[in-house]
A and B are shown apart, each in its own frame.
Chain A
Amino acid sequence: MNWIVRNLWLVPALPILAAGISALAKRKSRVLAASLAIGSMAISFLLSVCAFAHVLLLRSSGQPTLQFFNFRWFQFGNEWLSLGWVLDPLTAVMLVMVTFVGLLIFIYSVGYMAHDDNFMRFFCFLALFAGAMLGVIISNSLLLLFMCWEIVGLTSYLLIGFWYSNPKAAAAGKKAFIVTRIGDIPFFLGIAWLYAQSGTLLFYNNGAGFLEHSAISHLLAQTTATGICVATGIAILIFCGAVGKSGQFPLHVWLPDAMEGPTPVSALIHAATMVAAGVFLVARVYPLMSAHTGIAAALTTSTALQAVTWIGSITALLGAVIAVAQFDIKRILAYSTISQLGYMMMGLGVGGVSVGMFHLITHAFFKSLLFLGAGSVIHGCSGEQDIRHMGGLGKLMPITFVTYAVGMLALCGFPFFFSGFWSKDEILHAAHTWNISQAPYYMGAFAALLTAFYMSRQVFYVFAGSSRTTEAGAELAHGLAAPDAAGHHASDHDAAGHHAPGTPHESPSVMTIPLMILAAFALLLGFLGTPAWPWFQSFLDGTPAPVNFGAFSSGGMIPVMLSSSVIVLLGLGIGWWFYGRKPIKSADAPDNLGRLSPSIFSALGAALYFDAFYGATFVKLTTVLARVSDWLDRWVWNGAVQTVTYTIFGFAHLDNFLDRHVVNSGFDEGCNSVSRGGKLLSMLQAGRVQGYLKIVAGALIVFTILLLWKARI
């Protein structure tokens, strides 16, 4: 077994170790925390590259690319619970992506968080988060994956609520934690059910893992009492966990609120890692997801995958629709993330692992680019997040503008030159040829149109026209909706002091260099997966990758590509028509689209009232239940407890009486008589020496007389 396979655990262990050390270090050692986190991440990145190279080497030499290392954790009864890690193309690709994007975000954070008081804590959480995510990726056991998954959930709570003194951030952290937990309960039930049915939680174990043929066919052969295939039931329960983590409809509500966290966290959580974990999970258990009993295997799609596809396409459309009417720069990106995650799920559902994963990888690069660009904008605008109060930043922040535009075009899927085009196009193509329904294709295509529209709207608002940053506006925004500024804005400008507050400026190079690197990848990465040279797909699927330009013309590829290009250009054109044609004059002017139909626009702005709906139903129900429990507690259970208490009190009083008057008085009487006897005897001890001597002399005389008396007889 290769060195890198045996020591793959080092990849997640190093960042976790770094987090542990910086948690114990002194609070002020900023350099230590940052260098530990970045250093450990860099080593993890190098190891990941080694792992990737190892997989490439195996592949080129024609050996199986899947290698794993299992070990026994503990024993209960007669069974051993085993954990382990696995190195296959999926793991290798994800490892390189997460460590690389993570490393860039860590470096960027040094600049972004430079003036925060809790710099140490931030890097500690960040490293722990990255470590847990890497643990999710390498684990070869659903149990180990679930443990790392929960650490990811915990650290996301800690990082989203990082500025916990801001009540909105604290609430957002709590919401993210609870909503993802709702998805995790079915996930855990699925794990328990799987263990009960198959007796193992290992993915691969020389034919004994549950993703391998024998276990899958065993699961398929069984049905529950209601007639659902066990494999389908377990797959759907596991998918529920992915729904929570990846912000899929109907559990997407936590993701926009999570924007209350620092922007690097948004980039890390919402681009590269946490939300990708759900998609990754579906890709990892794909053999289980796609298992079905149909005879004609090529023509049917399993029920679980149909669920994945429908949820994904609904989410893709929903996120895109809501993003159109948002004004917060990060919230637009958050809804866009929801929409893109929907695409990935749809891609997994209709096209398989490689289709979904390709979009995941490209999206990780351009979305973290967009988030870090948004962070740079927010940093430059002194904590301003409302796009109505920006404008004209293209001239003031040229590097941010260019890189942001690259990210935006990649996200829109601008034809031929940007990675997003190739990955999104592949999903649409797979959806177009899906055998169940054409609806996901049309939903995806419409979402693509909306994506191009809302991204061009955002870019025109932020970078074009003239600056609408006013002192009053900045103040207003600072009071209203600038949580990012809470720990950051004031100290930043007091400390730096070289520019007046409110004047947008370009960010330092520690922030712009990661942007440029990410922009380069957002451009180039797409060429690894074009239809003509599907290297990425064949790498994941383990098939050869011929260079074949004829692939463009086969299988209805050209019409799909042309139509999606037209859709993107149309979306950008509509965006320009509404927002770019005439510069937006003032921050208070109503939105150009909102003028068409104010009521629909405001409904979209409120995210289709999902939060209000959940608030009025589930949260309300929980509150009512809590009140009922409170009442029961107070009056029923408490009454019972009080009755018992008073009964015991009564017994205690009786006992006390008996003690005092029966047991105690008898004992006291005994004590008193002993004491009296002692007093009587102590009268002999007068303390006079000669008194004792007299007694001795008297006794002597008595003995003498007695002896004489005896001697006489």
Chain B
Amino acid sequence: MNPLSGFLLLSALIFSIGLAGALTRRNAILVLIGIELMLNAANLNFIAFWRYGPNPEALTGVMFTIFSISVAAAEAAVGLSIILAVYRHFKSTNLDDMNSMKG
């Protein structure tokens, strides 16, 4: 078993934990944390495939990941501010209360 499989297993575990959190939690902030976990699992996959891939000298994986992390930071900021606005509106962070966008 090479180190890549270990990393991939870890990342799959983190992804599953994030997905489970995002699906089961009712608090919007915790759902956001779950989504961040899934994103970081993907980042871990990037790094792992770069490091153990055919061309580890080029810095493509690192570049991708840095971009991804900065985008994730921006996304977190936007997500949190949306949650803040939603909280001001509904006086709640429970996602079950936010069901007015439906057909």
Contacts and interface: CB of A to CB of B under 8 A. Distances in A.
A685 B23 contact: no
A686 B31 CA distance: 18
A700 to B, nearest CB: 8
A694 interface: yes
A682 to B, nearest CB: 2
Contact of A689 (B19, B98, B103): B98
A697 interface: yes
A689 B31 contact: yes
Contacts of A679: 103
A295 interface: no
A685 B99 CA distance: 9
Contacts of B19: 697
Contacts of B100: 687
B89 to A, nearest CB: 14
Interface in A658-710: 678-679, 681-690, 693-694, 697
A690 B95 contact: yes
A685 B95 contact: no
B99 A693 contact: no
Interface in B51-103: 95-96, 98-103
A688 B95 contact: yes
Main secondary structure of the interface of A (DSSP, over half): helix
Nearest to A678: B103
A228 to B, nearest CB: 94
Interface residues of B, number: 12
Contacts of A685: 101-103
B79 to A, nearest CB: 12
Contacts, number: 33
- Which of A683, A686, A689 has the most B CB atoms < 10 Å from its CB? A689
A697 B100 CA distance: 22
Interface in A276-317: none
A687 B98 CA distance: 7
Contacts of A682: 102-103
A683 B103 CA distance: 7
A614 B102 CA distance: 89
A303 B84 CA distance: 111
B15 to A, nearest CB: 10
A694 B102 contact: no
B22 A693 contact: yes
Contacts of B96: 688
Contacts of B101: 685, 687
Nearest to B15: A700
Nearest to B19: A697
Nearest to B24: A690
Contact of B102 (A687, A690, A693, A697): A687
A688 to B, nearest CB: 5
B38 to A, nearest CB: 10
A563 B98 CA distance: 124
A272 to B, nearest CB: 90
Given A681-B103, A682-B103, A693 B23 contact: yes
Contact of B31 (A678, A681, A690): A690
A655 to B, nearest CB: 38
B53 to A, nearest CB: 18
B23 A694 contact: yes
A689 B35 CA distance: 13
B65 to A, nearest CB: 21
A634 to B, nearest CB: 64
B22 A686 contact: no
Nearest to B100: A687
A686 B19 CA distance: 20
A690 B22 contact: yes
A417 B96 CA distance: 123
A678 B102 CA distance: 12
Nearest to B102: A687
Nearest to A700: B19
Interface in A551-575: none
Q: Which of B19, B96, B103 has the most CB of A within 10 A?
A: B103
Given A693-B22, A697-B19, A697-B23, A687 B95 contact: no
A694 B22 CA distance: 9
A435 B103 CA distance: 111
A687 B22 contact: no
A708 to B, nearest CB: 13
B51 to A, nearest CB: 23
B36 to A, nearest CB: 14
Nearest to A691: B99
B37 to A, nearest CB: 14
Contacts of B22: 690, 693
A685 B100 CA distance: 10
Contacts of A697: 19, 23
Contacts of A687: 98-102
Contacts of A693: 22-23, 31
Interface string B10-29: 00000000010011000000
A693 B30 CA distance: 14
Given A682-B102, A682-B103, A689 B23 contact: no
Nearest to B35: A693
A686 B23 contact: no
Interface in A420-475: none
Interface string A112-130: 0000000000000000000
A690 B98 CA distance: 11
A681 B99 CA distance: 17
14 contacts: A678-B103, A681-B103, A682-B103, A684-B103, A685-B101, A685-B103, A686-B99, A687-B99, A688-B96, A690-B22, A690-B23, A693-B22, A693-B31, A697-B19
Instruction: List the 8 closest A-B pairs by CB distance, nearest first.
Output: A682-B103, A687-B102, A687-B99, A685-B103, A685-B102, A687-B101, A689-B95, A688-B99
Given A689-B98, A690-B31, 7 more contacts: A682-B103, A684-B103, A685-B101, A685-B102, A688-B95, A688-B96, A690-B95
